[in-house]
Amino acid sequence: MENKNKKSLLKMRSFQDGIFVGLCSAGLLGYSLYHHHFDRNTSEWKLSPFLFPVLISVFGLLLTISLIADARREQKAAEGADSKPAKEKHNLPGAFILIGASIVYYFLLPVIHFIPASILYLAGLFVYLGERKWWKVILLAVITTAAIFLLFGKGLNVRLP
């Protein structure tokens, strides 16, 4: 006899998010591989403009696996509990704040360039997310920006804004 409170995997938010991220990542991977091969691109992969989208899509596929595993774990936990499943909370104001901060960051990039704009963006988000120790905010923002700059700007020769 099947449990009436059992939540379908397709109705779980993390599963839906996993499917969406997986489809976007697979599409980006296919697009990048196709265009690198067929656009008369004679450059090596390490110099190809399609390398970065391939890396992003691989990380997206790994995120997909994680999201689907979380959904399965949540479904098994719900099977063990006979109580009514909790309603999922949505944080729309937080999403709008993140989108607004990202838009401001986008417009700041050409004005004050990558490093200062990124430090300000990350510091603002860390403060919004609840970090109150100023030295941690500055340290995290500077280290993260420096790591991105060194990895992509210097190590992979990706042109940063």
How far apart (Å, rounded) are the C-alpha atoms in residues 99 and 91?
A: 12
- Whether pTM > 0.75 for this model: the answer is no
Contact 50, 40 (CB under 8 A): no
Does residue 110 share a domain with residue 72?
no
50 in a domain, yes or no? yes
Q: Which two tokens stand for residue 84?
A: 């009514």
Residue 151 and residue 107 in one domain: yes
In a domain? residue 160 = no
Model confidence at 1, pLDDT cuts 50, 70, 90, reads: very low
pLDDT (tens digit, 9 = 90+) per residue, 84-113? Answer: 555 666 777 888 888 899 899 889 888 998
Kindly state whether residues 107 and 75 are assigned to the same domain. no
Asked if residue 22 has pLDDT above 70, the reply is yes
Q: In terms of domains, do 114 and 148 share one?
A: yes
Poorest-confidence range of 43-52, 99-108, 133-142? 43-52
Residue 119 in any domain: the answer is yes
CB 15 within 8 A of CB 71: yes
Identify the domain boundary among 80, 111, 136.
Answer: 80
Q: What is the pLDDT of residue 142?
A: 94
Same-domain pairing of 76 and 13: yes
pLDDT at 2 over 60: no
Q: Are residues 74 and 99 in the same domain?
A: no
Q: What's the average model confidence in pLDDT over 53-58?
A: 84
User: Are 108 and 59 in the same domain?
Assistant: no
> Which spans in the chain are helix H?
13-38, 51-80, 92-112, 114-128, 134-148
The answer to whether position 4 is within a domain reads no
Both 18 and 40 in one domain: the answer is yes
Q: Which domain holds residue 98?
A: 92-155
Mean pLDDT calculated for residue range 3-22: 77
Total domains in the fold of the chain: 2
Predicted pLDDT of residue 138: 93
Binned at pLDDT 50, 70 and 90, residue 83 comes out as low
